[in-house]
Structure 1
Amino acid sequence: MTDIRFDGKVAIVTGAGGGLGRCHALELARRGAKVVVNDLGAAMDGSGGSSEAANDVVKEIEALGGEAFANGSSVSDTAGVQKMIDDTMAKWGRIDIIIANAGILRDKSFSKMTLQDIELVMDVHLMGSFKPIKAAWDIMKEQNYGRIVVTTSSTGLYGNFGQANYGAAKLGLVGMMNTLKIEGAKNNIKINAVCPVAATRMTEGLMPPEVLAQLKPEYVTPGVMNLVKEDAPTGMVLSAGAGAFSMAEIVETNGAFVGQGDALTAEAVAAKWDQITDKSVQTHFEMGSAHGQNIFRLLSEAAKS
């Protein structure tokens, strides 16, 4: 099997001062990439900030014989993100890989969650991924090369008590990915999502120590390397944790045509509910237009019968 290498490639990893981001940055460097280590160094709730963590990771990379520099911009700060992109281009002249990993938590039940709790989490997770990707998008288009990973979550895919803000942001990233995989295809820009389960600052209080011991962040990183390599997939959600990997997809049942005009009533929908929700046949659509085509397929089949 051919080694996965990133020689000559330039990577930006956000939230790379610790946890998953640090592991991603170090592994990219081990495999030949030049790395921008972005980390605001804030507390888990997004408060405060220090560049010490990012500088420490840069030192680790340099000790490996790699090249890196630290960036302390908040991913939610438009000017700071642009400076990170500009500094990267000034130093290395290209941007090949972005791993959007930065995140914070403001966990509360929805009744107790404030609008600020919602806005801050959305700003860091959703806008904090949009901003660096948007700032580098035209650079990648001009290069005809780009590999992007956003970090989603099982909370976004499936839900979790006390994390309405976090879940909304994390599923929003899947929506962004689904469109950018289409728009980036002609310029060899591939974008994927990782859905990690790992022992980091954000999870250390949620699981017992014996479970956390199995969930080392470095056990997620090998999967991420496959999402940013030369022959990476695109539009994939890779679930990863404890050395196990799987693929998550949004699927739709085969469905049923109910009727139109006077025949289409709430009661008529109820009468076909079992057929509408039958999971024996399910499809993953590659783009939104395929969803519409499925509706007209049902209409056509009904007309024939």
Structure 2
Amino acid sequence: MKDTNHTEINEFLLLGFSKFYKFQNVLYCLILLAYITCIFGNIVIIILVRIEASLHSPMYFFISIFAVLEIMFISVSVPNLLAILVHSKKTIIFVGCFAQMYAFNALGETECFLLALMVFDRYLAVNNPLRYSIIMNSAFCLKLAVLPWLGGFFVSFFPTCLTILLDFCGPNIIDHFFCDLAPVQNLACSSFFYSGVATVLAAVISVVLPFISIVTLYICIIITVLKIKTKEGKRKAFSTCSSHLIVVCLFYGSAIIVYIRPQGSHYDKFIALMYTVVTPALNPFIYTLRNSEVKQALKKFIRRFKQCPT
């Protein structure tokens, strides 16, 4: 009997937001602005943390790592989205599609783990302030910073591999603006049960478990803060966590909706805009405008820049 397990298609067609062709130019301008804002804002944060002595602490070290991750994460999908908004050719080659899929999911899962790690840092700072500087020394921080990257790239490997092994012999139209697991799995000619299960497991490990950890740690932080007698002490303790809490809500709120039900839907690409474009563009403002130390460091940096000879 002739073996039918083979892949006939060599490229995928990304629909993006083709149905909203009247708004393509507006979308392009808005997304390009968000992309430039994200890149520029996160580069400024990285530079500030690097050169300003007042920001040489574990919290800002992790924020700078997060800024690097945001630049990489948004660059996986947004340049391709900008291209398909203005070009008539909206295809992506087979290998390129799965490379984008792996990079996007690996970086996204790394971000989930890193957000949980940043809460752990705040938990230690609030609950064990006297030993915090001893525990969170430079060597330990560096080791901790590596773990989310290892976890993200390891966990995303399995659903991506199981998806690429599926048979793609029919339709090649992806109703999305980048290659993601669920939209691609839905195009398979063979059963994607195992890859679907792997996708759910990866989502549970990299999205749900870190989210539960974040909620648990924040509950512990809140209990500790409420025990502080002075209002100024409570305000200072809460201020170190508020920016991170906003980022967590924005990122996890949309990510959980999409990845905990991996069968995919027509609206997933609109939700995906939140955590691929909107949230990365807002994060630099969240970490600067709501943080007095970063604002002071930014003012010093601007004054120093103005004083430089032309």
Higher helix share: 2
Question: Greater relative contact order: 1 or 2 (C-alpha under 8 angstroms, separation 6 or more)?
Answer: 2
Q: Same fold (TM over 0.5)?
A: no
Higher strand share: 1
TM-score range, shorter chain: under 0.3
Q: TM-score, normalised by structure 2?
A: 0.26
